[in-house]
Structure 1
């Protein structure tokens, strides 16, 4: 029975990727043609629309659904820094639908992925060279402040890399530093996607990904340590409540 269940999970996941890869290649080619012709906001709307298909197809093939609480905490206008935990490839797809438009902080290597990375490069990501820690921080603060001044929310994964479900990992202060420098609020966000789409896992498990958005944390007149402490405490407590960490 267990072998049969595993085979069915593998089969459903294979079906997901049979739709994912061809659609990604075709849509990326279209985006590479028309994306450079569009201003950033309509460009983001067009390029990220493929994510609606990804999330729909994931639900159809693998039974993975989404439930969001605290959506009202996302500012309706103005710039802000979003900090989210990093457990899965899932959040790189869904969070572009939850916060629109946005600029994401990512590792530079992702832009080298054929088709997907090439199209992603059109969305003004802050692509960091993680081998140069000082240079990466300087780049984050300079480019992040520029994006925020232009009214674009910036998404940061303070854990820096994917952390398996059940583990917390270390949270860096980049998000708090950027919010303090630009004097914009931090919006903390957590989820438990790693329970259903483990990082680098082929098999996806049916269930409902819980996403929780916290109230904005105002940066006015507060120290970086104070901002980071409040952000990290809220995220850890919320992740425990969602079962994302032990």
Structure 2
């Protein structure tokens, strides 16, 4: 049974991304729990994954504790709109991850950005090992996911633009998997998606039309919530 909160989050972010240029998904998560590892170039990556991943997996997003959970109001917004859970970056982060092992065994998807920070335009950075340790502890597969278009949609330190967002879900990686192998799988998916397509121009025109229509105000409200997370 799909939890209502996961269904509502997916509907919210699918709606928001549809209005800002569209979202495409390729592939599906395997049945049961899994650790999703993805590239990270924008705060919009979370929205893209919540819109693209199956709500039956009730995705939980690992978020930097020193930023997203630095205040009570930001913590509440992160948990409710992004299904976020805190991961410390200055010691104790592995314990935070391993605490999700039971959730994985129960069939949930735990989404992590192993680069640890947004990479911007520099490509996919090196991966930390924590996501792989968690998958091994919970005995669930690691699934690579490539995301493209979010860096144009919401650039690092930039404003919101229209852009088609693409999410490609790869095949589960063989176990055991090294950080280098996981990074290579994600980088390959990202590189394949990141090539421009004719749909990008169509998406920009569609988004511009929507933003100047009666949907402009509701969209602004949705992205106001998103900006409180970024």
Fold-level similarity (TM above 0.5): yes
Tell me, yes or no, if structure 1 residue 51 matches structure 2 residue 13.
Answer: yes
How many residues are aligned here? Answer: 189
Two-structure CA RMSD over aligned residues (Å): 2.6
> What is the alpha-carbon distance in structure 1 between the residues aligned to residue 45 and residue 133 of structure 2?
23
Q: Say whether the 8 Å CA contact 2:144–2:186 is kept in structure 1.
A: yes
Q: Could you say which residue in structure 2 is the equivalent of 1:234?
A: 185
Q: Say whether the 8 Å CA contact 1:83–1:175 is kept in structure 2.
A: yes
Q: Could you say which residue in structure 1 is the equivalent of 2:62?
A: 105
Per-residue CA distance 1:80-134 (angstroms, 9 max, x = gap): 01001111122111211222211111112313567664143257633022222xx
Q: Say whether the 8 Å CA contact 1:165–1:198 is kept in structure 2.
A: no
Q: Could you say which residue in structure 2 is the equivalent of 1:128?
A: 87
Q: Give the SS at the match of 1:190.
A: strand
Unaligned runs of 5+ residues in structure 2 are 196-230
TM-score, structure 1 normalization: 0.67
Cα deviation for residue 180 of structure 1 reads 1.2
1:168 to 117, 124, 129: 124
> What is the alpha-carbon distance in structure 2 between the residues aligned to residue 241 and residue 55 of structure 1?
21
Cα deviation for residue 144 of structure 1 reads 1.9
Q: Say whether the 8 Å CA contact 1:137–1:174 is kept in structure 2.
A: yes
Cα deviation for residue 48 of structure 1 reads 4.8
TM-score, structure 2 normalization: 0.71
Cα deviation for residue 166 of structure 1 reads 3.7
Unaligned runs of 5+ residues in structure 1 are 1-38, 59-63
Q: Could you say which residue in structure 1 is the equivalent of 2:208?
A: none
Q: Point out the structure with the larger helix share.
A: 1
1:199 to 143, 148, 156: 156
Per mean C-alpha deviation after superposition, the further-off stretch among 145-154 and 77-86 is 145-154
Cα deviation for residue 203 of structure 1 reads 4.0
Tell me, yes or no, if structure 1 residue 190 matches structure 2 residue 146.
Answer: yes
Tell me, yes or no, if structure 1 residue 85 matches structure 2 residue 36.
Answer: no
Cα deviation for residue 165 of structure 1 reads 2.2
1:150 to 106, 110, 120: 106
> What is the alpha-carbon distance in structure 2 between the residues aligned to residue 95 and residue 124 of structure 1?
11
